[in-house]
Amino acid sequence: MSDMTTICPALPEGHFIGGRYVTDTAAIDVISPSTGQRIGAIPRADAQIVDQAVQAARKALATSNWGGLAPRERLKALHKWADLIEQQAPALAALEAVCSSRPVSHALTGDVMVTAEQIRFFAEFADKEGGALIPVADQQFGYIADAPYGVVGAITPWNFPISMAGWKLGPALAAGNAVVLKPSEMTPWSTLYLAELSVQAGVPAGLINVVLGDGPVTGTAITGHPGIDKLSFTGSTRAGAAIMQNIAATGIKPMTLELGGKSPMIVFADADLDLAAQCLERGIMPNAGQFCVAGSRILVAKEIAQPLCQKLMQRFATYQPADTLAAQAGFSPIISTGQMGRIDAIVQASVKAGGQILCGGQAFDHPGSFYRPTLIGDVDQGNPAVTEEIFGPVATFQSFDTEEEAMALADHATYGLAAGLFTRDLSRALRLTQRLQAGTVWVNRYGRSRDHILPTGGWKASGLGKDLGREAYLANRRMKSVLIDL
């Protein structure tokens, strides 16, 4: 690999169950998206391995009494884990970058550090959040008690492997549960090492179990296992629907689903155009557009459409591919050749349906899987680039005359994950944030901040329930209403 300054530590091998690595037959190759080369292989956990992980989780809950400890003890253990994550950030960042789309320098200063921060954030709920006394008649005593679920099943995607694992593990553990987690088969290693560090930090062995494998075999074994008391999933809407079906077929269990999106970024004529151009770029190009809240539909008032489009195309032209292990971060690769083929197929279908490529529209001539920043104009609401989640560096560009028209274009038939508004008119901003059909709305900015108290989650087919925020902690506890006649 040219310009490679990061040497990846030894790759963890096997599943991580009951606090140790469990070897299993290698079954799935892991490929570097930066080079196209095979880096290693992982096993595919079958129902028996998943059951072993669930039993290890149950045993750890029973022997450590994790859910029944003084909450401050859980808090202390999780803070120690966060300390160790920070200390081991270089190794975690390398394991993250070696097989994913995350540049190692971003993983080091961003993803890994934010994961530690979020684990601390959730740890703090352990001794502060509780049940409630309820006002009832004076001959009665009423309260709401709460308790952990037991074993939480978690399934995460490849686009931000370590952060997604942190989103699941932090609240589940703080709330007193054990976890059986399956990372994406394309990005397994940082999650394994994260689990290993938890044991080194003194979190009881068996509370975090990581099983490796794909969706159809390993994922299905997790979602259908009767010993999993609650499920937390992040991934595509397609997989979310399959999971709901499997859960319905194998026994009901509560679930949180963080799914796909097709989020609009809407720019009004009174917006600060330089700020808008900067935010639109940040809304679609980080991680080569492979993030759930990507602002993949740009909607611009007609009178400023031309200059804003020019500004964007200039910005998009500056991107150059870079190996994720290179010292200096560059444009991210697409996670796999399959995913790049899917992106290109939607772009070509969009052109066939009348879309006009304003820039990009093809892969870079470069090793690995890199797709050019792409802007598509002349699209109607039925165009495939408008209807489909592309999950790549591709945005559509549409213009509107009126606020009503902007709202009609913004409203997606399927998705409602996020939306961005750019305007200097405060009344319009407040009016439209109310109207937008999305779980998150940003005004004069685009993208998450480090205010972890803000919950994230989709409306419509973008999801069910919330990650982050107090809501994610509460989603890992179950409530019990108690009424006593005195």
Give contact residues for ligand NAD (rule: CB under 6 A). Answer: 155-159, 182, 184-185, 214-216, 219-220, 223, 234-236, 239, 242-243, 258-261, 292, 389, 391, 417, 456, 458, 463
Nearest to 74 by CA among 228, 192, 201: 201
Burial code (b: 16+ CB inside 10 Å, e: under 16) for 211-243 equals bbbbbebbbbbbbbbeebbbbbbbbbbebbebb
Closest approach of ligand NAD to the CB of residue 134, in Å: 33
359 is catalytic: no
Using the minimum distance from each CB to ligand NAD, give the nearer residue, 261 or 373.
261
Q: What are phi and psi of 43, to 5 degrees?
A: -75, 170
Catalytic residue (choose from 13, 185, 258, 388): 258
**Structure tokens of 43?**
């096993």
Q: How far is the CB of 388 from ligand NAD (least distance, A)?
A: 11
Q: Least distance to ligand NAD from the beta carbon of 214, Å?
A: 5
CB of 448 or CB of 478, closer to ligand NAD: 448
Question: Smaller CB distance to ligand NAD: residue 255 or 267?
Answer: 255
Least Cβ distance, residue 258 to ligand NAD (angstroms)? 3
Comparison of 155 and 436: residue with beta carbon closer to ligand NAD? 155
* Dist CA 384 CA 352 (whole Å): 10
Computed on alpha carbons and rounded to an integer, the radius of gyration of the chain in Å comes to 23
Tokens of 270: 């009174």
State the catalytic residue, choosing from 8, 292, 309, 388: 292
Q: Report whether 30 contacts 186 (CB < 8 A).
A: yes
Q: Which is nearer to ligand NAD, 311 or 460 (CB)?
A: 460
Q: Measured from the CB of residue 290, what is the shortest distance to ligand NAD in angstroms?
A: 7
- Rounded Cα gap, residues 52 and 89, in angstroms: 30
Neighbouring-strand partners of residue 484: 141
- DSSP assignment of 238-290 equals HHHHHHHHHHHHH----EEEE-----EEEE-TTS-HHHHHHHHHHHHSGGGG-
The question of whether 258 is a catalytic residue gets the answer yes
- Known catalytic residues are 258, 292
